[in-house]
Amino acid sequence: MGRTPIYTRVYNQLRYQILSGELPIGSHLPPERKLAARLGVSRNTVVRAYAELEVEGFIAGKMGSGRYVEALPPAPALSRIHWSSQHNYTHLHAAPPHMAELLAITDTYPDTINFAHGDGGKHTLVTSGFPAYVKSAADQINSYFFTSVQGFPLLREQLVRWMGFEQVSSPEQVCVTSGSQEGLYLITSMLARPGDCIVTEMPTYFGSLQLFQSLGIQVIPVPLDQEGMKTDILEGILGRYRPRFIYTVPTFHNPTGYTLSLVRRKHLLSLSEHYGIPVVEDDAYRHLHLDTPPPPALKALDQAGHVIYLNTLSKLLFPGLRIGWIAANQHFIQLVRRLKELSISTNMLGQIALANYLKADALTPHLARSRNLYRQQAEVMEAHLQPLTALGLQYEKAAGGFYFWVSLPEGVEARKLMQTCRQKGVSFTCGDMFLLRHAEQPYIRLCFTHEPPSQIERGMSIISEILTRQKEEA
Ligand SMILES: Cc1ncc(COP(=O)(O)O)c(C=O)c1O
């Protein structure tokens, strides 16, 4: 305080009391002489402090009735701020807006033959029988009111039954989310902070990459082959970088369709345990095998509680439902619930409809029917891909999931092909969306489940024609 004039100290003290509300608006200030005596200063000191406060509009004096605290003075005029430019500090711009672009396809090109979206198609709605459950839920009063943040208890019970993992035996180990995308957002926000790193297969589901990059999280890529993530390479990475978690789509991976072998599943889990790094298993395609069922989920093999399991009804039923779930140990789920609380809960109408659908065991026959249809759809698409191998195109036979991951013949550019096909009424996704960087690369992803067989015929004929022409011109 050394050189601060005494009146400034008195002024500061009073100003603080006024701004903090200790001296409320309208309250009376002591007369100068009285305050001077209380503070042990001269009357002049108090007079000066009061004068300053008066000039600044903090206090006012009424003739005969002393001084009192005024309404706060107007804030000094600041230069105009463009509030919208204040958001540049976020990491959002690190990731291209792939999700928005992809979802806009239906509105922008309503008549397009759509091999871009990853879902089971509109033609399965009626056979699923699901609309009747929605209609019945719409008649229930509870559908319009709150349920618990963690999700409708009856739905969580049914999800436990549906998963059938001995590791997840209680609804308390489940949190319902608005799609698995929200689930991944919650998990990532729990486990990692901007600047941290995580590890995942590359290529991988673009929605996860967009999420990680938007949150400022570094993604360390691990290559994969027909047996899934190369766990020998993962081992070196875990030791060096200590990522916050391993994100993996081990079963009918998006976009490649590859499935992690049982040997690698066990290796992955032993690495997770050895380094104490959790695994986030995104199991969206598990039930969508076309031939033999896949190996057990990582969660079903998890002896140490290191696997955080994520799944969704978007691929089993319909993506507009926006219902997914996280299953993990109870302590983790309690923490997730604290975060989920911030968006209150997932829509109740959908949760009730789904709970009753699962309770009636309607999902299993629906999936059996869907798999038969998907098999046919994959065959129709493959019948068009196969002849193109003569030009140098490559693909793997689909064993499950929704996609063909197609390597284009040399000289055919993925983005150019995509744009020309889009103009001719067919949409698909370009492989660079599934990579960290927009590198020139030869892949496209074709979803074989969204369109019925007749539309697949038409769409693939258009693609084949354009691709053949572009190859000839290359
Ligand atoms: C691997 C994977 N995870 C999550 C999602 C998103 O699912 P949801 O609609 O439940 O958010 C997708 C959708 O394509 C996906 O392929």
Q: For 312-355, give the DSSP string.
A: ESTTTS-GGG--EEEE--HHHHHHHHHHHGGG----HHHHHHHH
The pLDDT confidence band at residue 473, using thresholds 50, 70 and 90, is very high
Q: Which of 102, 200, 312, 318 to mutate to test the pocket of ligand 1 (most atoms within 8 A of CB)?
A: 312
- For ligand 1, the distance from its centroid to the CA atom of residue 249, given in whole angstroms, is 10
Q: In what order do the strands lie in the sheet with 429-430?
A: 403-407, 443-447, 429-430
CATH code for position 27: 1.10.10.10
Reported pTM: 0.85
Establish if 95 belongs to a structural domain.
Answer: no
**Residue to substitute in 177, 281, 282, 317 for testing ligand 1 pocket (most ligand atoms within 8 angstroms of CB):** 282
For residue 116, what pLDDT is reported? 97
Q: Do 336 and 377 lie in a common domain?
A: no
What torsion do the CA atoms of 318, 319, 321, 322 make, to the nearest 10 degrees?
Answer: 150
Instruction: Average the pLDDT over each of 3-7, 191-195, 246-250 and give the range with the smallest value.
Output: 3-7
Q: Which residues, judged by CB distance below 6 Å to any ligand atom, belong to the binding site of ligand 1?
A: 118, 179-181, 205, 207, 249, 254, 282, 284, 312, 314, 319, 324
In a domain, 426, yes or no: yes
Indicate if 229 and 323 belong to the same structural domain. Answer: yes
Distance 255 CA to ligand 1 centre (A): 11
What token pair was written down for 412? 């055919």
Ligand 1 atom at shortest distance from the alpha carbon of 180: 10
Given pLDDT bands bounded at 50, 70 and 90, which one contains residue 474?
confident
DSSP letter, residue 182: H
Residue 407 lies in a domain: yes
Tell whether 326 and 200 lie within a shared domain.
yes
58 C-alpha to ligand 1 centroid (Å): 58
Kindly give the residue spans of alpha helices, DSSP state H, lying in 20-124.
Answer: 32-39, 43-55, 98-103, 105-108
Ligand 1 atom with the shortest distance to the CA of 313? 10
State which of 361, 394, 414 marks the end of a domain.
361
- Closest residue by CA, ligand 1 atom 13: 118
Counted domains in the chain: 3
Phi then psi dihedrals of residue 350, to 5 deg:
-65, -40
- Considering only CA atoms, which of 346, 264, 334, 335 is closest in space to residue 298? 264
Let me know whether 357 and 369 are in one domain: no
So what's the pLDDT on residue 1?
Answer: 43
169 and 189 part of one domain:
yes
Give me the long-range contacts of 292-297 (CB less than 8 A, separation at least 24): 292/399, 294/251, 294/252, 294/259, 294/400, 295/251, 295/259, 295/260, 295/261, 295/262, 295/265, 296/262, 296/265, 297/165, 297/250, 297/251
How many Å lie between the centroid of ligand 1 and the Cα of residue 181?
6
Query: Where a domain ends, among 69, 87, 117?
Result: 69
* Cα distance between residue 262 and residue 256, in whole Å: 18
Distances (CA, A) of 231 to 277, 307, 424: 14, 16, 42
Ligand 1 centroid from CA 354, angstroms: 18
Are 255 and 378 part of one and the same domain?
Answer: no
Residue 346 lies in a domain: yes
Q: How far is CA 154 from the centre of its chain?
A: 25
- Residue 76, pLDDT score: 65
Does residue 154 fall inside a structural domain?
Answer: yes
What is the best residue among 103, 186, 205 to mutate for testing ligand 1's pocket, by most ligand atoms within 8 Å of CB?
205
Å from CA of 33 to ligand 1 middle: 74
Q: What ligand 1 atom has the least distance to the C-alpha of 402? A: 16
Q: How far is the CA of 206 from the centre of ligand 1 (A)?
A: 9
CA of 113 to the centre of ligand 1 (A): 21
Would the pLDDT of 88 be above 70?
Answer: no
Distance 283 CA to ligand 1 centre (A): 9
118 close to 256: Cβ distance less than 8 angstroms: no
Pocket test for ligand 1, best of 314, 429, 449 (most atoms within 8 A of CB): 314
Identify whether 365 is preceded by a cis peptide bond (ω within 30 of 0). Answer: no
Assess whether pLDDT exceeds 60 at residue 2: no
CATH number at residue 422: 3.90.1150.10
Residues 388 and 328 in one domain: no
Domain check: are 223 and 297 in the same one?
yes
Domain annotation covers residue 294: yes
Q: Which burial class, exposed, middle or buried, applies to 329 when counting CB atoms under 10 A from its CB (0-12, 13-18, 19+)?
A: middle
Q: Indicate which residue's Cα is closest to atom 7 of ligand 1.
A: 180
User: What's the domain range around 431?
Assistant: 365-473
Q: What is the pLDDT of residues 92-121, one digit of tens each?
A: 777 888 898 889 998 898 899 999 999 999
Mean of pLDDT values over 312-316: 97
C-alpha 245 to ligand 1 mean position (Å): 18
* Residue 181 alpha carbon, nearest atom of ligand 1: 11
* Band (20; pLDDT cuts 50, 70, 90): confident
Mean pLDDT of the chain: 93
For the CA of 253, the closest atom of ligand 1 is 1
**Could you tell me if residue 102 is inside a domain?**
no
Q: Would you call the peptide bond into 278 cis, given omega within 30 degrees of 0 as the criterion?
A: no
Does one domain contain both 348 and 372?
no
117 within some domain: no
Smallest CA-to-CA distance from 127 within 317, 360, 378, 285 is with 317
**Per-residue pLDDT for 73 more than 70?**
no
Between the CA of 180 and the centroid of ligand 1 the distance, in Å, is: 6
**Backbone dihedral angles phi then psi of residue 199, each to the nearest 5 degrees:** -125, 145
CA 236/CA 241 separation, integer angstroms: 9
* Final residue belonging to a domain, choices 29, 45, 69: 69
Please report the pLDDT score of residue 437 as a whole number: 76
**Tokens matching residue 181:** 């995308």
CATH code of residue 157: 3.40.640.10
Pairing of strands 218-225, 197-202: parallel
Q: How far is the CA of 54 from the centre of ligand 1 (A)?
A: 63
Residue 236 confidence (pLDDT):
93
Distance CA 198, CA 208 (A): 11
Q: Are residues 167 and 255 in the same domain?
A: yes
73, 59 contact by CB (below 8 A) = no
Report pLDDT digits (tens) over 411-421.
999 999 999 99
Q: Residue 434: name the closest of 422, 442, 425 by CA.
A: 442
| Nearest CA residue ID for atom 14, ligand 1 | 118
How many angstroms separate the CA atoms of 202 and 365, rounded? 34
Task: For residue 230, report the distance from its CA to the centre of ligand 1, in Å.
Answer: 22
Which H or E element spans position 453? Answer: helix 453-473
pLDDT category at 256 given cuts 50, 70, 90 is: very high
**From CA 177, how far away is CA 346, in angstroms rounded?**
6
Decide: 271 and 241 in contact? Cβ < 8 Å.
no
- Tell whether 302 and 216 lie within a shared domain: yes
Are residue 213 and residue 146 in the same domain, yes or no?
Answer: yes
Pocket probe for ligand 1: among 117, 181, 185, 346, the residue whose CB has the most ligand atoms within 8 Å is 181
Q: Which atom of ligand 1 is nearest to the CA of 324?
A: 10
